A and B are shown apart, each in its own frame.
Chain A
Amino acid sequence: MKRGRSSLAAILPFLWLAVFFAFPFFLVAKLSLSDTALAIPPYTPRLDWSQGLAGVRAFLAGLDGETYARLTKDSLYLSAYLSSLRLAAEGSGLLLLIGYPIAYGISRCPPRVRQALVMAVILPFWTSFLIRIYAWIAILKPAGVLNAVLHVVGLPPLDILNTETAVLLGLVYAYLPFMVLPLYAVLDRQDESLIEAAQDLGATPLAAFWRVTFPLSLPGALAGALLCFIPMAGEFVIPDLLGGSDTLMLGRVIWTEFFADRDWPAASAVAIVLLATLVVPILLFERQQAKVLS
């Protein structure tokens, strides 16, 4: 009885993964190996079950890597790919620079203040992500809040909406909690007596931070950076709403291929390439998590 229940508990996550990850993944992988066609759905070959085994064979014969070859020929894909990774890397770097002092500051506060501040970090999740990004449009647009403030202070206006700067701003804003929380978790767990021991042995407070607090927080920093980098590389909404026509990110390329060009194989191939690129950081993240949790 008990055994039956525990094996069911083991099967459930696999079932979940099979239905919501493996199956869609194979669908996308298959699409990426198909050819574009003017049909509904717009690709060939299609599996014809009525032909039996011959149908399956014909279907398999129709699959090829032609779409991937096409991706290498158009420099648009490569530059979108590189600029996605670059923006995600820049975003992660900025997030580290901004998130670390925030997480450190929170971890130094008295317990009750700490709880309130962690709450404040999570609070933005209570409103819709989309609305928050639209709010940035209102802030950044030429006659928006930002320029009104700049005008009052006597500074020249900034026209950054629909630029890469706005995308980076949006990325950093949206992903900040994902950087702060893992960092805060490791900093908060750090044994206070380690800092005292460092100071006792002659380390100034600054030296104690660099020699003890900081190296011990690196797993949290890496976890936060990966947690942000992975989804940022495939981000669609932020570059679409805040970026301009020159902001090339893979998320937008996939959208365009799928909905504007109706080129499902190309969209799928781009998605597969992105996924393959992210497997390395995802595995790194998993390993890091295992280490942090141990």
Chain B
Amino acid sequence: MDQGADGQVSKPAIVRFEGVEKRFGDHVAVAGVDLEVAEDEFFALLGPSGCGKTTLMRLLAGFEQPDAGRILLDGQDIAALPAHRRPVHMMFQSYALFPHLNVAQNIAFGLRRQGLAKAEVAPRVEEMLALVRLDGLARRKPDQLSGGQRQRVALARALAPRPRILLLDEPLAALDRKLREETQLELIALQRRLGLTFMIVTHDQDEAMVVADRMAVMQAGAIAQVGPPRDVYERPQSRYVAEFIGEVNIFPREDGALLAVRPEKLFIARQPNGHPAMGGTLSDIAYFGDRTRYVVETSAGPVRISCANDGLDTRGPLSVGDAVWVSHPPEAAVVLPS
């Protein structure tokens, strides 16, 4: 996908938030958000709970009305459209499956509301069941399904009426880690196959990085940074983003700015190795199999370093208490406003 330096897309925007604001009493949930989501994009809204990401999604779905600003879908202001007339479907965090309807009836719900005849609904339901690999479970009630199966019914139900955009509200939060990771990959494959715009809300930075073409990191109702995961990770524009996405060491500079360096971009050695280096004492070693994490106490405070256990290093085994030098190539550091 063509990307500008600021993370704006050159593909046509399917959704545009323009100065959108939403308050609940005194609480400002969404504070003047400008955002574009492109056609066929897998877009992630990422942030801690209470940052306004879910509210932003609910504004798009039509469950909330903005106090200011506009939301455009395919260039049209959708303020006047109630939720049931928006071609935007949502997969709820709780899945919100209708407990009195079986799997097929749940999936058919949106199709029936579109006025499709029964004869057209049945093959479409079959198609959806196959898509999410639930063939044979059509007659089951939601309470007879496992968590992973329910998640797929919710997905199929939201996809069945062919929305312009699929909204996913923390879709994998209820799954265990292994299933969650599998499902992330399935979601990506599904999105590519259907050529549909997906917008996911998540508090899990790993999930956002894995699935998203682009992501928006939110802070207190505002967008802190938008861009492809790689850009956001490698070139954070604020301390908040640097610290929210992955781990980071922050060093103050003489001019008052901050220097951010990711732990895996730091070298640890027994001697200075050419790059400007900081001396310190190794205070902690944690072995993770594929990598080892070190904490070095330096004059600038504790520094975290992550080294791949790729067998390529020549420094030999280190132990706690060793005097070591920490360095990084200059291009690994990002300058942040203080």
Complex: A160 Cα to B93 Cα, angstroms: 56
Q: Are A201 and B100 in contact (CB under 8 A)?
A: no
| Nearest chain A CB to B156 CB, angstrom units | 12
Contact of A216 among B83, B90, B99, B157 (CB under 8 A): B99
Q: Which of A147-192 contact B (CB under 8 A)?
A: 191
Interface centre among A193, A196, A197, A205 (most CB of B within 10 A): A197
User: For residue B84, which residues in chain A have a CB less than 8 angstroms away from its CB?
Assistant: 199-205, 207-208
User: For residue B114, which residues in chain A have a CB less than 8 angstroms away from its CB?
Assistant: 202
Known contacts A202-B114, A203-B84, A197 near B99 by CB under 8 Å: no
Q: Are B92 and A193 in contact (CB under 8 A)?
A: yes
Interface string of B89-102 (1 = CB under 8 A from A): 11010101111100
User: For residue A205, which residues in chain B have a CB less than 8 angstroms away from its CB?
Assistant: 84
**Is the CB of A212 closer than 8 A to any CB of chain B?**
yes
**Is the CB of B113 closer than 8 A to any CB of chain A?**
yes
Q: Are B157 and A201 in contact (CB under 8 A)?
A: yes
Q: Are A202 and B161 in contact (CB under 8 A)?
A: yes
User: For residue B110, which residues in chain A have a CB less than 8 angstroms away from its CB?
Assistant: 201-202
Complex: A193 Cα to B158 Cα, angstroms: 14
Q: Are B161 and A194 in contact (CB under 8 A)?
A: no
**Is the CB of A287 closer than 8 A to any CB of chain B?**
no
**Is the CB of A198 closer than 8 A to any CB of chain B?**
yes
User: For residue A207, which residues in chain B have a CB less than 8 angstroms away from its CB?
Assistant: 84, 113
**Is the CB of B109 closer than 8 A to any CB of chain A?**
yes
Q: Are A202 and B98 in contact (CB under 8 A)?
A: no
**Is the CB of B63 closer than 8 A to any CB of chain A?**
yes
**Is the CB of A215 closer than 8 A to any CB of chain B?**
yes
Nearest B residue to A215, CB-CB: B100
Interface string of A210-238 (1 = CB under 8 A from B): 01100110000000000000000000000
Complex: A216 Cα to B96 Cα, angstroms: 13
User: For residue A212, which residues in chain B have a CB less than 8 angstroms away from its CB?
Assistant: 98, 100
Q: Are A201 and B94 in contact (CB under 8 A)?
A: no
Q: Which of B156-184 contact A (CB under 8 A)?
A: 157-158, 161
Interface of A is mostly: helix
User: For residue B260, which residues in chain A have a CB less than 8 angstroms away from its CB?
Assistant: none
User: For residue A201, which residues in chain B have a CB less than 8 angstroms away from its CB?
Assistant: 84, 89, 109-110, 113, 157-158, 161
Contact of A193 among B62, B88, B96, B113 (CB under 8 A): B96
User: For residue A198, which residues in chain B have a CB less than 8 angstroms away from its CB?
Assistant: 98, 109
Known contacts A215-B100, A216-B99, A196 near B92 by CB under 8 Å: yes
Q: Which of B117-164 contact A (CB under 8 A)?
A: 157-158, 161
Interface centre among A193, A200, A203, A216 (most CB of B within 10 A): A200
Complex: A203 Cα to B110 Cα, angstroms: 8
| Nearest chain A CB to B252 CB, angstrom units | 46
Complex: A115 Cα to B291 Cα, angstroms: 57
| Nearest chain A CB to B71 CB, angstrom units | 16
Q: Which of B240-280 contact A (CB under 8 A)?
A: none
Complex: A202 Cα to B113 Cα, angstroms: 6
Q: Are B92 and A197 in contact (CB under 8 A)?
A: yes
| Nearest chain A CB to B62 CB, angstrom units | 8
User: For residue A211, which residues in chain B have a CB less than 8 angstroms away from its CB?
Assistant: 98, 109
Complex: A50 Cα to B109 Cα, angstroms: 76
User: For residue B90, which residues in chain A have a CB less than 8 angstroms away from its CB?
Assistant: 196-197, 200
Complex: A204 Cα to B110 Cα, angstroms: 11
Q: Are B113 and A191 in contact (CB under 8 A)?
A: no
| Nearest chain B CB to A113 CB, angstrom units | 17
**Is the CB of B45 closer than 8 A to any CB of chain A?**
no
Nearest B residue to A194, CB-CB: B96
User: For residue A202, which residues in chain B have a CB less than 8 angstroms away from its CB?
Assistant: 84-85, 110, 113-114, 161
Q: Are A200 and B89 in contact (CB under 8 A)?
A: yes
Q: Which of A235-255 contact B (CB under 8 A)?
A: none
**Is the CB of B61 closer than 8 A to any CB of chain A?**
yes
Q: Are A197 and B113 in contact (CB under 8 A)?
A: no
Interface centre among B85, B92, B96 (most CB of A within 10 A): B96
User: For residue B96, which residues in chain A have a CB less than 8 angstroms away from its CB?
Assistant: 191, 193-194, 196-197
7 closest Cβ pairs, A-B complex: A202-B113, A201-B110, A197-B96, A193-B96, A199-B84, A199-B83, A200-B90
Give me the interface of A with B, judged by CB distance under 8 Å.
191, 193-194, 196-205, 207-208, 211-212, 215-216
14 more contacts with CB within 8 A, not counting A196-B90, A200-B158, A212-B100, are A196-B61, A196-B63, A197-B90, A197-B96, A199-B62, A199-B63, A199-B83, A200-B83, A201-B89, A201-B161, A203-B113, A208-B84, A212-B98, A216-B100
A-B contacts, 24 of them at CB < 8 A, read A196-B63, A198-B98, A198-B109, A199-B63, A199-B83, A200-B61, A200-B62, A200-B83, A200-B84, A200-B89, A201-B113, A201-B157, A202-B84, A202-B85, A202-B110, A202-B114, A202-B161, A204-B84, A205-B84, A207-B113, A211-B98, A211-B109, A212-B100, A216-B99
